[in-house]
Structures are given as structure tokens and as C-alpha cells.
Amino acid sequence: MLAPMQGLTNSALRRLYLQKYQPDLVFTEFVRVQSQTRKRVAKNELSELQDHVAEVPLVVQLIGNDPAALAEAAVLVQAGGVKHINLNLGCPYGRMTTGATGGELLRHPQQLAAMLAALRRVCRGSFSVKCRAGYGDLDQWQSLLPVFADSGVDFIILHPRTVAQRYNGAADHRITAAMAAKTRLPVIANGDINSAAMARALLTQTGVAGLMIGRGALADPVIFQRIRGTAPQMVDSELRRRELGRFISDLWPSYLQKFCGERQALMKIKDVLNFIPDPDLQRDLGKLKRATSAATFLARLQGHFAIAPDSECF
């Protein structure tokens, strides 16, 4: 699964992955559900969902805190053709003026149970949760499992950090393995999966049903094929550089169209570059991020990432 990444996994980026890199599922950025207005989901977020025309399933990730509002939002997006709903229980920054959302909800298990029940009643397709191991306690997942099972979720995506950790430290997939061993629900591993070798080890050694990959897929878009064995698991640094350069050059024309002009497209593509955890390429990625015009950006992409000038973006 290509992970939901706020500010990054828009329809243009998802489309590129579906066309060239073949994840089995893609997720939206979290869709914020409003409880104090009659319009539960913003118009621009609904239009993002309508851009999805691929056969690969799109999962809409909702974030909110009111059971009725979440249920109404789920009905709304399903009326637009979406079949799969996910609830965000992991975002460490998820708080609205009306109360806790995202990872904060792990501090309120009774409220969480009501939300899950309301969503399950209206979800016609799959309904899943994406959560941290706990709010401040890495063992809290053990008390959350009955809540998830009783609510009828179809699978759990686990990021084995606490909410309080945010993105510090390392994701501890020993916790992922422990959860997979303790529940009949399918468990999807998420967090710090940055290589095909690590991904394959998780699949074979932890009992998980699948993988969700975020930053690792930005740094190595071919990672899904590598995991399946349809692309080389290891490549040399020059091929790695060319693959990443091709990814960036393929993304550029889509961003030009989506974000209405070079300045906005350049800012948005730099956001993607900020989340590529590849220490060997940071110097050249930094040069791209410091470009102040599209012409400079594309010239540096050609010069430092071996992109031929007859590529589409040129």
C-alpha cells in the first residue's frame, strides 16, 4: 500500500504511482470531517476523489471526532464511488477546535468505540484503522485490540511508535509481530520500511498481511516491484539516481497541470523532495530544493540525475 502522506499523496502523485510503480492500494491524504458545518467534506477534497479512475482501489482516510459527522462523511464519499474507508488514529498533530482527532483519540477509547461503531454501520466496503501502538505507552495496543475487533474493522494498519514520539526514534516492528500474533484481524506493517530487503523480511518473519510504505516509496518508487521480485532488489548508485530522476521528471508535468503554474508546481514538488530519506543523494536533492525557477530546477535535474533533455518535462 502507498501510505497516506499529508500534503503529498494528492491525485497527481497517486496517479503516477498507479501508472508506473503499481502499489496494490493507494490512500488519500486525510480528509478532514467537519462536525460544525453542514458540509461534512470540503468541495476540493471531494474533487480529489473524483480524479481517481484506476482499477486499483482508492482508500479514503477520514479524520474527525464526531461519530455522526464521520458516518455522514463516509456515506457522502461512498455515494461518489469510493468503496474503502480508513480512520486516522495515528496523526500526532491531529486536533481540531472541537476536540481530539487522529492519534489523540487513543486517549479516549470510549469515544473511539462509538466512532468505530458508527462508521462500521455505514461502510459498505472495507473499513480499516491506521493507528499508533499507543498514545504514550507502546503496550497500549493490547487494550485497543478488543475495541477494534468488537467494532468489526476489516484490518489494522500499525505504525509501531507512540503518538507522543511523533516521528522520533525508530518504528519497532517487534510490536507489529506481537500484534499480528495476538489477533485474527489482518495487520499491515507501517513505519520506516525503507528497503525491499526490510519489506520482504517483515512479510516473511512477522506474520503481517501486508505493508504500507510512505517515505520509502518516495525515496525508491520502484520498491513495490522490488518487493514482488519483478525488479532487482538491489541496484547500484547510478541506476538508483536515474530511477529517482525519472520519478521527479515524470511528476513535474502532472504538477504543472494540477497546481496551475510553475511557481506553485515548484513549491509542491519541493515538498516531495523534503521527504526523500536518501543520505547518498541529499547533496543533489538540496540543489534541486534551492532552485528558484522551473528552468533552474529542470537544468539541475538533468545535470545531477542523468535525465535526458528529450524527456517530457523538457
Q: Per-domain residue ranges for the chain?
A: 11-228, 237-304
Averaged pLDDT for residues 156-184: 97
Nearest to 32 by CA among 45, 20, 47, 17: 45
Which amino acid, residue 311?
S
Please report which helix (H) or strand (E) contains residue 59, including its range.
Answer: strand 58-63
Name the least confident of 24-33, 40-49, 249-258. 40-49
Backbone angles phi, psi at 78, to 5 degrees: -70, -30
pLDDT band for 270, please (50, 70, 90 cuts). very high
> In the structure grid, which three cell numbers stand for residue 111, read together?
469515544
Averaged pLDDT for residues 42-68: 86
Q: Does domain 11-228 have CATH number 3.20.20.70?
A: yes
- Coil, helix or strand at residue 214: coil
- CB burial of 241-261 (b: ≥16 within 10 Å; e: otherwise) equals bebbbbbbbbbbebbbebbee
Averaged pLDDT for residues 254-273: 94
User: Percent of the chain, pLDDT > 90?
Assistant: 79
- Listed in order, strand segments (DSSP E) in 124-195 are 127-134, 155-162, 187-190
Residues found in the chain: 314
Q: Please check whether residue 3 is in contact with residue 27, taking contact to mean a CB–CB distance below 8 angstroms.
A: yes
Tens digits of residue pLDDT in 71-109: 999 999 999 889 999 999 999 875 554 678 999 999 999
Nearest to 223 by CA among 194, 252, 248, 201: 194
> In the structure grid, which three cell numbers stand for residue 257, read together?
497541470
Place of cell 468488537: 150
- Angle made by CA atoms 4, 2, 235, in degrees to the nearest 5: 135
Averaged pLDDT for residues 113-124: 97
> In the structure grid, which three cell numbers stand for residue 182, read together?
495476538
Place of cell 523532495: 273
